[in-house]
Amino acid sequence: MSNKTPIAIIGTGFAGLGMGIKLKEAGYEDFVILEQGSDVGGTWRDNHYPGCACDVQSALYSFSFEQNPEWSRMYAQQSEILAYLRHCAEKYGLMPHIRFNTHLTAAHFDETRNRWTLDLADSGRLWNYMQRHDLKPGDALDLEDPELPDMEQLEAGVLVSGMGGLSTPAYPNIEGLDRFQGKLFHSQDWDHGYDLKGKRVAVIGTGASAIQFVPEVAKEAARVDLYQRTPPWIMPKPDRPMKGWEKALFRRVPAAQSALRNSIYWQLESRVLALALNPRLMKIAELEARRHIRKQIPDKALRRKVTPDYTIGCKRILLSNNYYPALAQDHVDVLTDGIQKVTAKGVVDKNGAEREVDAIIFGTGFKAQDPIPKGMVFGRGGRDLLDAWRDGAEAYKGTTVHGFPNFFMLVGPNTGLGHSSMVYMIESQIQYVMDALAKMRQKGWEAVDVKESVQADYNAMLQSKSDGSVWDSGCNSWYVNENGKNTTLWPSFTWAFRQQTHRFDAQHYECVTSAPLREVAGEAVPA
């Protein structure tokens, strides 16, 4: 395979595959998709814990151009979404473009030639190296270490990241974890070979993943100790199997499925009125969530424990019909005294009480604030992306970062959603990148770099939009960093993002035709 490519894409989740599909549709044949795993699917390949499912309706959580009349439920399970992504990769001819088991360790932009140099390692060898050095996914690699597996270099004109914001597991920093003699794993690294039957299991965390797997663990385990730091607000999940006649209708009349998709879209979009514009309206949702607790939990003390004390919507609103009934069982205890330490045999709470367990499962989420590890992406002047993001991740339109020319991020900073489908955001960004590529070709630009002032103004606007929203109402969430900066969420309507990304606005970029000559807003000027 050639060691040069005009376009390199990282990842084969919705973002990477969607980008590849649109490139092919537009006639680009020369591009490479780098995938560290041995299968496509991104987060839907990596997260396979029991109960894993989507909390956005599948008619909307799928590509607009590839509707699937066969969804078995309103909200598909993980295995079905993974099968859908495999189908997309095959149907649109992406498999020959994908280099599996290939891990991007570092990407350097060479400004003398306006090209990215990518260091690639064999995933298996890199994994062995990381295990030997006790490194976890997301930990910085010492690129000077002679023991690092051999790197292959690939040169790319444009680099598109489809790495996603929630791919690096976050492990809690709890004293004594390394002393624990039982089984330990994170929800993203579920060990299906470990039989939970009859085991005493501690679960740490009560977020979107935990509320899906706790009911499944409780079916098997002899005892479940659920360590809750902050209770989530949970609403009923309006899930149901799709009926035979509905699937037949969608097969024969695709417009009927589009109509369902549109109605879901507008129903979810209407939530922005309360989330972003008038958080007082969230009271209505809170009443429904409180009713859900009362209906599903008979015990008043347990009701009190699971009732949050922050405004609903500040953290992600979760959907579940089986979480509260699971907690109400006698062999499940919700523990809210905090964790002091872990011993060889169990977990000690802040009152000093130890509970022995056979296994500890982390439902502790992802490193959302550092979506790209330090030491991975180096822009102009060799600057590490994480140094550019010292005050928190930010980008222009969630896609480009000043000083990192020809680097496009899908699911970049401030593109996350708490209310609707990420696939909609991804398709909007892909349109932006496609238009950028078309203009680069047309005008002969070798490199495009967003202007610093444009990025700064854009982010000031984003932060002011976040002020006063429900996400700014004082809870502790992964949406906002320790300085109170919203680095992850899109704080408005998704159609507004689509409008912004419809066209590549070259006038906001420094556009370079060749190394010594710069073209700004279409006008040639000396560098």
How far is Cα 77 from Cα 54, in angstroms, rounded to an integer? 6
Task: Report the Cα 351 to chain-centroid distance in Å.
Answer: 36
Contacts of 205 by beta carbon, 8 Å cutoff, 6+ apart: 172, 227, 229, 362, 363, 364, 365
How many of the other CB atoms lie within 10 Å of CB of 288? 12
Using the rule CB under 6 A, which residue among 478, 490, 497, 504 binds ligand N01? 478
DSSP state of 172: P
Q: Is 341 in the site for ligand N01 (CB under 6 A)?
A: no
Using the rule CB under 6 A, which residue among 51, 365, 403, 405 binds ligand N01? 365
Using the rule CB under 6 A, which residue among 207, 313, 373, 491 binds ligand N01? 207
Q: Is 233 in the site for ligand N01 (CB under 6 A)?
A: no
Buried b or exposed e, range 415-447, using 16+ CB within 10 angstroms: bbbbbbbbbbbbbbbbbbbbbbbebbeeeebbb
Assigned token pair, 378? 């180096």
Nearest distance from residue 243's CB to ligand N01, in Å?
Answer: 23
Contact 11, 20 (CB under 8 A): no
Nearest distance from residue 187's CB to ligand N01, in Å?
Answer: 6
Q: Is 54 in the site for ligand N01 (CB under 6 A)?
A: yes
How far is Cα 433 from Cα 54, in angstroms, rounded to an integer? 27
Nearest distance from residue 280's CB to ligand N01, in Å?
Answer: 23
Contacts of 324 by beta carbon, 8 Å cutoff, 6+ apart: 234, 292, 293, 296, 297, 306
Handedness of CA 351, 187, 36, 436 (dihedral sign): negative
Which of 366/407 has CB closer to ligand N01?
A: 366
Using the rule CB under 6 A, which residue among 366, 407, 424, 490 binds ligand N01? 366
**Beta strands 346-349 and 339-342, pairing class:** antiparallel
Q: Is 424 in the site for ligand N01 (CB under 6 A)?
A: no
Q: Is 481 in the site for ligand N01 (CB under 6 A)?
A: no
Nearest distance from residue 418's CB to ligand N01, in Å?
Answer: 8
Q: Is 69 in the site for ligand N01 (CB under 6 A)?
A: no
Binding piece for ligand N01, criterion CB under 6 A, among 208-216, 274-282, 380-388, 425-433: 208-216
Secondary structure of residue 447 in the 3-state scheme: strand
Q: Is 343 in the site for ligand N01 (CB under 6 A)?
A: no
Handedness of CA 395, 397, 402, 408 (dihedral sign): positive
Using the rule CB under 6 A, which residue among 12, 257, 364, 415 binds ligand N01? 364
Nearest distance from residue 167's CB to ligand N01, in Å?
Answer: 10
Site string for ligand N01, 169-198 (x = CB under 6 A): ---x--------------x-----------
Secondary structure of residue 362 in the 3-state scheme: strand
Which has the closest alpha carbon to 117: 104, 136, 132? 104
How far is Cα 392 from Cα 68, in angstroms, rounded to an integer? 38
Using the rule CB under 6 A, which residue among 88, 160, 210, 512 binds ligand N01? 210
Using the rule CB under 6 A, which residue among 108, 229, 345, 355 binds ligand N01? 229
Site string for ligand N01, 248-287 (x = CB under 6 A): ----------------------------------------
Using the rule CB under 6 A, which residue among 205, 215, 373, 403 binds ligand N01? 205
In this chain, which residue has its C-beta nearest to ligand N01? 207
Which of 360/401 has CB closer to ligand N01?
A: 360
Contact 491, 420 (CB under 8 A): no
Nearest distance from residue 398's CB to ligand N01, in Å?
Answer: 16
By CB under 6 A, name the binding residues for ligand N01: 54-55, 166, 172, 187, 204-210, 227, 229-230, 316, 339, 363-366, 476, 478
